[in-house]
Amino acid sequence: MRTVLSRTIFAVLLALFSSLGVAASARPASAAVAPCPNENGCVRAITVNGFIDQINADFIRRAASEVADVPGYSAIILVIDSEGSVISAEELNDLVVDLVDLPLKVTAWVGPSGAQALGGAAELVAALEPSMAPNTRIGDVGVPQLDQQRFGDLVTSTDTGLRETVIDNDEAEQRSLSLRTDAILGDHALNRGDVAFKDVTDDEGRPKRELLTTNITIGLPVTTQLLHTAASPAVAYLALAIAIGLLLFEFFTAGVGVAGVVGAICAVMAGYGLAELPLRWWALALCLFSAFAFAIDIQTAIPRLWTLIGLVSWSVGSLFLFDGLRAPWLALLTGLGGMAVLMLSGMPSMVRSRFATPTLGRSWMIGKMGTAISDINPEGTVDVDGGIWRAITNRATRSWPEGSFGWLASTG
């Protein structure tokens, strides 16, 4: 269900991008890849950052398959830095099968330094003869998703503790989870054994190998990267919070302004991101319910019981929104604190200033000199400091003929 929903939202977004004239860069490329210009061959390096969602999975599959039969390409390398996989186990298995069955061998490199391969990304890496850069990590697999009959127990057979723990590149190499430590992508390509190189010496006369092939690195197009970024817990959660806040603001103001447009964009991003990520649907329902609770008190311009109910619903929904994942604490604190300030102070102040009836005190006129601009007998009008006011004479006071003046004794 989640996959169908995410693909539906993705299709709608692509249609929108197409109408704006930018969908071409977001869709999979249909043009044939040109043959490798280097007579010694080319290596395609596919960068994979963030969660392996539907966008990343389709990008990996397309980027690998489109060069598998192109003359001159000799290797395909996935450059992985991923917090995990949010596609289904079936889709992850299909992706690995497609990569393993390609005519060109596909390998994986966890890098550069500081990168990680967690969850389903760790299984993807383990299935592709991996190496790791220094100071990289792998593990936190959870329940294995790849078919053990076809691929074997790639990760947890090395150490069942990797279901919940993470190890570095040195320990991964000791446990044969990683073949070796390759400091840079070029080292990984050289150590594959199927790319062209030559023996040279460095500045100190030591022998080394130098690649003769051309590295062609590709990543997600910018427009597609925007949607992929939305499918991260922090961005999806903050987009939801911003959408609720801005759309409520727009609802209680006249017209459609910048807040409404930005809120709508954030709602679309949150919709895609939440559809891609594993959710607790009851928690999402609480977050959406909080918007209705806030609206009840916003129209009164006074935070009361419904504001408290809304804040409790928003807080509980925020903390339990993702199933198996969690938005970073900074994002949670921003969402919770920002919503509390907005609903307890910002929105009530806005509504009061927008819809309150303006009043002007009159006590300042007592003792002022006024000039009658019409007969006041007993009612008429006077000029006080350039302002025209309705006046009524006291019963004990004689009437004022037009043009006369006197002191104002009251403002009643």
Q: Give residue 181's pLDDT band: very low, low, confident or very high (50, 70, 90).
A: very high
Work out the pLDDT band at 108, boundaries 50, 70, 90.
very high
Contact 107, 46 (CB under 8 A): no
What's 401's DSSP letter?
Answer: P
- From residue 384, how far is each of 67, 370, 394, 400 by CA, in Å? 87, 5, 18, 15
Does a cis peptide bond (omega within 30 degrees of 0) precede residue 378?
yes
- At residue 408 the predicted structure's pLDDT band, cuts being 50, 70 and 90, is low
**Which neighbouring-strand residues pair with 387?**
384
Over residues 205-211, mean pLDDT: 83
Higher per-residue pLDDT: 243 or 252: 243
Residues 91-99 have a mean pLDDT of 94
Please give the pLDDT value at position 411.
Answer: 53
CA–CA separation, 160 vs 158, rounded Å?
A: 7
pLDDT band at 95 (very low <50, low <70, confident <90, very high): very high
The better pLDDT of the pair 352, 328 is held by 328
What pLDDT was estimated at residue 17?
40
CA–CA distance, 408 with 215 (Å, rounded to integer)? 91
Mean pLDDT of 170-183: 91
- Mean pLDDT, to the nearest integer, of 281-286? 94
- Residue 364: band (very low, low, confident or very high) from pLDDT cuts 50, 70, 90: low
Is the overall model pTM greater than 0.75, yes or no?
no
Most confident of 281-285, 302-306, 348-352: 281-285
pLDDT value at residue 362: 63
Strands (E), 40-163: 42-49, 73-81, 106-110, 116-118, 131-132, 137-139
Which of the two residues, 277 and 365, has the higher pLDDT score? Answer: 277
Output the CA torsion sign for 124, 127, 133, 138.
positive
What interhelical angle do 89-100 and 54-65 show, nearest 10?
Answer: 10
Q: What is the mean pLDDT of residues 278-304?
A: 88
Instruction: Enter the tokens of residue 215.
Output: 């590295």
Q: Is 49 helix (H, G, I), strand (E, B) or coil?
A: strand
Q: What percent of the chain has pLDDT over 90?
A: 36
How confident is the model over 50-82, as pLDDT tens digits?
Answer: 999 888 999 999 999 999 889 999 999 999 999
CA distance 110 to 255: 51
